């Protein structure tokens, strides 16, 4: 595998991580995506990232749109390290009943 480095004029999106997969497109509608490879390094100080790329792969141009996707191994599993502890108290002397408790959990790319 070869390495290719991209420098961007704007800050790199905060959720990009090493191990994510990079793609590019030259299609205005974004229908045709070309695989670049896995992201191996990110330098937020210089707004650059480095990716693996196959020697025979089509290379992006300076006008290509670069995008990335997350792997589902680490980003779709159950929550680890995050939890919520709740305690409900009734300080009233009157009878009270807790009818329902709900929560909402959503996947985040951080």
Residue 85 covered by a domain: no
Output the tens digit of pLDDT for each of the chain's 110 residues.
899 999 999 999 888 999 999 999 998 888 899 999 999 999 999 999 999 999 999 999 989 999 999 876 655 555 555 666 778 888 888 888 888 887 776 666 55
Q: What's the burial of 49, exposed, middle or buried (CB within 10 Å: 0-12/13-18/19+)? A: buried
Residue 67 covered by a domain: yes
User: Which DSSP symbol is given to 44?
Assistant: T
Predicted confidence at residue 75, as pLDDT, reads 53
Residue-range definition of the domain harbouring residue 32? 2-75
Residue 17 covered by a domain: yes
Place of tokens 């196959």: 54
Predicted confidence at residue 79, as pLDDT, reads 53
Residue 21 covered by a domain: yes
The closest alpha carbon to 35, from 7, 69, 9, 11, belongs to 69
Count of domains observed in the chain: 1
Residue 101 covered by a domain: no
Predicted confidence at residue 91, as pLDDT, reads 84
């Amino acid at each position: 595998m070869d390495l290719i480095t991209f420098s961007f004029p704007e800050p790199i999106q905060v959720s990009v991580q090493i191990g994510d997969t990079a793609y590019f497109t030259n299609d205005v509608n974004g229908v045709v995506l070309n695989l670049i490879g896995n992201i191996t390094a990110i330098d937020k100080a210089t707004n650059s990232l480095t990716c693996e790329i196959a020697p025979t792969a089509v290379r992006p141009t300076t006008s290509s749109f670069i995008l990335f996707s997350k792997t589902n191994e680490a980003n779709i599993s159950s929550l680890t390290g995050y939890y919520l502890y709740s305690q409900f108290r009734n300080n009233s002397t009157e009878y009270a009943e807790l009818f329902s408790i709900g929560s909402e959990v959503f996947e985040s790319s951080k």
